[in-house]
Amino acid sequence: YHPGGAASKTIEYNKNRGVLVQAWAPLGYSLGGRFTPKMKEVCGNIGKKYGNKSFAQVALRWIVQSGASFTTQSKKKSHFEEDLNIFDFELSLEDMAILDGLA
């Protein structure tokens, strides 16, 4: 579950039943990378509007605002810190719609 592979009906279905959807490999690295260059560009451009957030931060924030949760992994502390630094901004409805449209 990420901006390019959204399943909003799945989120809504589970939400109505009290089930929280968790994104597995939300940045797409487990399968050789599911983020296309266009998706990275769109997320990166949106990130510039929110204090130079990375494409990953925008993607993870989109997941949270969509009503899902996520888990990530990394060997680098800096990547963990970046992944968790998504709660100091909120994507606008317009930006959410743009990201929804990537699917």
- Over residues 14-55, the pLDDT tens digits come to 888 999 888 877 776 655 556 778 888 999 999 999 999 999
Domain that holds residue 19: 8-100
| Residue 56 falls inside a structural domain | yes
Distance CA 41, CA 95 (A): 13
The structure's pTM equals 0.82
Count of the separate structural domains present in the chain = 1
Please report the pLDDT score of residue 101 as a whole number: 81
Q: What confidence score (pLDDT) does residue 23 get?
A: 80
Are 21 and 68 contacting, i.e. CB atoms less than 8 angstroms apart?
A: yes
pLDDT at 93 over 60: yes
Note whether residue 14 is domain-resident.
yes
